[in-house]
Chain A
Amino acid sequence: MGIEFILGSLVKIGALLGYLYGLLWAMGHSKKWVKIVGVIVAFGIVQLALTKFGDFQLLNNFDQGLLFQACTMTMVALGLNLIYGFNGQFSLGQWGFYGIGAYCAADITFRWTNGDARGLFVVGLGTIFAGLAIWGIGKFLKRLRGIPVLSAFTFYIIGVVVAGALAILIGNLINPLLSPLLGTISEPGVLNSKVAIQVVFFFAVVFAGVFAAEVSFLFGLPVLTLGSDYFGIATLGFTIVVNTLMVNSDTILPFPEMKGGRGMIGIPKLTTWFWAFFFMVLVIIILRNLIRSSTGRAIMSVREDETAAKAMGIDVANNKLLSFVIGSFFAGVGGAVYAHYIGFLSPGTFDFLVGFNPLIIVVFGGLGSMTGTIAASFGWIFFLEGLLRVLLSQMGTEAPTWRYVLYPITLLMLMLIRPQGLLGTVEWGFLKAEKYGFGKKNGPKPTTDAPVVNS
C-alpha cells in the first residue's frame, strides 16, 4: 500500500483509456467484420483478465466491482448527457430514474427466484400496455392541435392507470399457473434453471428501463414546459420524492420485500461481465445512432436556440420529451444492471446528494461529448472510488467526508479554468460524426444538374 499501488492504479487507468479507444475505433471501422471481431475481442480480453487461472487473476474482485460500476455509471451519464449535454435541459432527476430502474428490476428477479411470477408479468405487461396506451392516446391527441398540457396529461394518466390495473389483473391470473414451475428458493423449479433465469434477467433489465422511461414521460410531459432552472429544481424534487418513497416502500408503498429504509437484500447476483458489456455497448450504439440522425440534429438544435428551432419547423416540446425519455431509459437500464451486480439496494445509494455524481461526470467529460462522458465515467469510478477510497481509508473514518470536500474543489477549479470539460467536444472512432463529402461511401454524390442561377 504505497507508491506501487498508486502507480499500478495509474497504469490501470491508462490501460482502460487505451481499451476504450480501441473499442470505439473498432466499432467505428468501415469494414463490418472488423467491427464484429473488435467488439468480441474487447469483450474477450476483459473476460480473460477476470477469469481465474489457478491462483493468478489479473483483475481481482475489487477491480471487477469497479468495472461493473463504471459500466452502469457510463449508461447513466450517457443518458444525462443526452438530456443535458445534447438537449440542454438541466436535469437532476437522473438519479431518481436510476433508482426506479434498480428497484424495479430487483423486484422482478427477487420475486421470480422466490416463486412469484407476478413481478415479471405485472411489470412487463404493465409497461407494454402503458406503452400502447401512451402511443394510442398520442395518436388521438395529435389531431387536436394546441390541446393544453394539463388536459393531455390527464388523458395519459387515465390511460396508464387503466393499463396498470389490467396488467395486475392478468398477472394475478397467470401467477397460479406458473408458480409450481418456479419452485422456491431452496428447491428451484424448471423456470429457475440457470438458463431461464438469464432470460428473465434480460427481460427484467429491459422492462425496468421501459418502466423508468414511462415514468419519465408522465413526469416530463408537464414539467418540461417549465423553464430550464425550474425544470432543474423540479427534477431535483423528483429525486427527493423517489428517495422518500424508497425509504417508505414497505409502509406507504405496498412492497414489503423492499424492506424500506433497511434495504432490500437477497437480490440474485446475475450481472456478469457479458451483461454489463452488452448493455453498455447497446446504450452507446443507440445513443450514437440517435445523435447522428436527423432526430439527433433536431435535439441539438433545441439546445442551441429554441426559437430558431421552432422557426425551422422542429417540434421543440416533442424533442425535449424524446431526449428526456430516452435518457431516463438509459438510467433505468443502468440501475437494473447495478442492482444485480451489488445484490443489495439501500435508499442511501439513491440519495440526491449522490445524485449529483452523474452531473459532475458529464460536466467533467464535456457537455455534448459522448467520448468525454464515457472516459470520465471510467476515470471517475477508478480514480475517485477506487484509488481515493483506498488512499483515504488510511485517514480513518473521515474518508467519505474528505471525498466530498475534494470533489467540489476540483469542480470549482474545472469551472474556473476549463468550463467546457476536459475533452471539450472531441469524439473518438465510432462516436465521430460521419464526414459527408464527395468521394465518401455514404456521402452525397456530386450533382451534375446544379441549378443555373440567372443573373
Chain B
Amino acid sequence: MRKLSLSPTSKPIKSKKPPLDWVGKGFLLLLTIAVAYILIKNLIDDPSLFIQIILSGLQLGFVYALIALGYTMVYGIVKLINFAHGDVFMVGAFTSFYAVTRFNLHLWPMSVFPNMPRSLVEVIGSITVILLSMLVCTVLAITIERVAYKPLRDAPRIAALITAIGISFFLEFFGALNFVYSPRFIPYERPFEVVAWYIKDGVHLLKPGVEAPAGSITFSNIFIIIVAASILVQIFLQFLVHRTKIGIAMRATSFDKPTARLMGINVDGIISFTFAIGAAFAGLGGVLYAIAYSSIWTQLGILPGLKAFVAAVLGGIGSIPGAFVGALIMGQAEAMTMGYISTPMRDAVAFTILIIVLLIRPTGLFGEPEKEKA
C-alpha cells in the first residue's frame, strides 16, 4: 500500500496551465518590442538628446522618490492613501518661497557674520531654508494625522480615504485664497544661483543666457543636489528602519497593530512618527522641486503626488527600495514620453504603466505577497 505522505517533499499537485496564456504574453511582447524599437531608434538618431532626456528623467525620478517614501511608509503602516501628502509637498515649496522672498532667510549668516564668503552664506542659508520647510511640513502632517485621521482609525478605510481627499482639497484651495497665497502661478526666487555645465570634449561652465552648443549634454548643480539628497535619504531610511529600535517598532506596527500594542509599542506615537518622517522628506522634495522648476502654485502637489503614489505602488507598496526604483522608472517614462511622443501624454503613460505592472505582478516589483484575510 502506498504511504500517504503530507511532507513537503511529496510531489505538488500539478496546476493546469491556463488556456491561451500566450495571447496576452504575445500582446505584451509586441508592446515591449514597439517601445524598445522607438527608444533604440532615437538613441541611434541623436545620442546626446537621448542622454539629456535620461538626465531630466533622473531629476524628476529622484524628486518623485522623495515624495513616494512618505506614501509607501504611511500606506505600509495604516493602509491609507494619504492624498494630502502631495499638498504637504506643496506647503514645503511655499514655506521656502516665503522664507526666501519675504524674510530673506537664506541670507541670515551674512547679517550675523558680515565677512563670511558669499558661497558659504548661500550654502548655510539654503540648508536653513530646507530645514525650516521640513519642520513646517512635519508639524502640518502631525496636525493632520491627529485631527483628521486618528478619530477614524477604527472606521471603515474608505472614511479615512475620503477625509484625506477633503484635507487635500482644503490645503489646495485654502492656499489659493488671496490672503493666504494666491491662485496664480508664482515665480519662485531661488535661495542660490543655479549653475549649469555642459559636456562636450570635457566639462565646461555654461554662462547664463548662452545656448549650449549642439550635441552637448547639460546638467546643473540642482540636479546633483537632488540626486545626492535623494540617495542620502534612502540610506538614512534604510538605516532607520532596519538598524534602530524605532525602525523595529515601525515594522512591528505595520505587521500587526494589536500585537505590537501588546508588546508595549506606542502605536499611535509610531504612526505619528511615520507621518512626520514622510512629511519631512516631502518638504525637502518640495523645496528642491521648486528650485529646479522655479514656478509654484497651490495645486503644484496634485500630479507629482499622484505619480509618486503610482511609483510607490509600482515598486510594491510598503517597500522603501521599491518606492525608490518605482520613482526612477516613473521619471524615465515621463521624460521619454515628453521627449519622444508628446508632452500632454506624460500623465497617461504614468497610469498605463501602473496598470500593466499591476496586471503582471499584482504586488508590485518589490512587494511581498499579501497576507490572507484573517
Residues in chain A within 8 A of chain B (CB atoms): 90, 144-155, 222-223, 225-227, 229-230, 232-234, 236-238, 240-241, 244-245, 247-248, 251-252, 307, 353, 356, 359-360, 363, 398, 401-402, 404-405, 407-409, 411-412, 415-416, 419
Contacts and interface: CB of A to CB of B under 8 A. Distances in A.
A236 B151 CA distance: 26
A149 B359 contact: yes
Contact of B359 (A222, A238, A241, A307): A222
Nearest to B176: A401
A150 B25 contact: yes
Nearest to B75: A229
A415 B177 contact: no
Interface string B160-192: 011101111110111011100001000000000
A236 to B, nearest CB: 7
Contacts of B172: 404
Interface in B265-291: none
Interface in B22-39: 22-28
Given A241-B348, A401-B173, A412 B166 contact: yes
B27 A154 contact: yes
B146 to A, nearest CB: 13
Interface in B325-354: 342, 344-345, 347-348, 350-351, 354
A244 B347 contact: yes
Nearest to B23: A151
A405 B173 contact: yes
A187 to B, nearest CB: 39
Given A237-B351, A401-B176, A412-B148, A153 B24 contact: yes
A150 B345 contact: no
A252 B177 contact: no
Contacts of A236: 306
B156 interface: yes
18 contacts: A90-B158, A147-B19, A148-B20, A148-B21, A150-B27, A154-B26, A226-B358, A226-B359, A227-B362, A234-B358, A240-B351, A244-B347, A401-B176, A408-B165, A408-B168, A411-B163, A415-B159, A419-B156
A237 B347 contact: yes
Contact of B355 (A148, A234, A356): A234
A411 B167 CA distance: 9
B347 A419 contact: no
Given A234-B351, A402-B177, A252 B169 contact: no
A404 B156 contact: no
B344 A148 contact: no
A335 B334 CA distance: 31
A208 B348 CA distance: 23
A307 B355 CA distance: 24
A229 B309 CA distance: 11
Contacts of B373: 307
Given A237-B310, A415-B152, A415-B162, A244 B344 contact: yes
B166 to A, nearest CB: 4
A412 B24 contact: no
B347 A241 contact: yes
Interface of B: 16, 18-28, 79, 81, 148, 151-152, 155-156, 158-159, 161-163, 165-170, 172-174, 176-178, 183, 299, 302-303, 306, 309-310, 313, 342, 344-345, 347-348, 350-351, 354-355, 358-360, 362, 373
A74 B49 CA distance: 51
Contact of A408 (B158, B166, B354): B166
A222 B355 contact: yes
A12 to B, nearest CB: 27
Contacts of B360: 150
A386 B278 CA distance: 40
Given A151-B23, A233-B81, A405-B177, A411 B162 contact: yes
Contacts of A237: 306, 310, 347, 350-351, 354-355
A407 B169 contact: yes
Given A151-B20, A244-B344, A307-B373, A415 B173 contact: no
Given A148-B18, A248-B344, A419 B155 contact: yes
Contacts, number: 152
A154 B348 contact: no
Contact of A146 (B18, B25, B27, B169): B18
Contacts of B345: 244, 252
A4 B159 CA distance: 37
A405 B152 contact: no
A222 B355 CA distance: 8
B175 to A, nearest CB: 9
A155 B373 CA distance: 33
A416 B151 contact: yes
Given A90-B161, A359-B162, A233 B306 contact: yes
A356 B81 contact: no
Contacts of B26: 154
Nearest to B17: A146
Contacts of B79: 229
B24 A151 contact: yes
Contact of A356 (B169, B174, B359): B169
Contacts of A225: 359, 362
Given A150-B28, A226-B362, A404 B313 contact: no
Given A238-B351, A353-B299, A398-B178, 8 more contacts: A150-B23, A150-B28, A150-B360, A240-B351, A404-B172, A404-B173, A408-B173, A412-B167
Nearest to A150: B24
Contact of B152 (A233, A359, A411, A416): A416
A247 to B, nearest CB: 7
B20 A404 contact: no
Given A155-B23, A398-B177, A150 B359 contact: yes
B147 to A, nearest CB: 9
B358 to A, nearest CB: 5
Contact of A233 (B22, B174, B310): B310
B227 to A, nearest CB: 27
A222 B28 CA distance: 13
B354 A234 contact: yes
A154 B23 contact: yes
Contacts of B169: 353, 356, 404, 407-408
Nearest to A238: B351
Nearest to A143: B19
Contacts of B167: 408, 412
Nearest to B179: A398
A263 B146 CA distance: 43
B358 A419 contact: no
A363 B167 CA distance: 16
B309 to A, nearest CB: 6
Contacts of A155: 23
A51 B81 CA distance: 49
Contacts of A154: 23-24, 26-27
A150 B26 CA distance: 10
Contacts of B151: 416
B371 to A, nearest CB: 13
A232 B166 contact: no
Nearest to A419: B159
B306 A401 contact: no
A21 B156 CA distance: 30
A360 to B, nearest CB: 8
Nearest to A243: B347
A151 B299 CA distance: 39
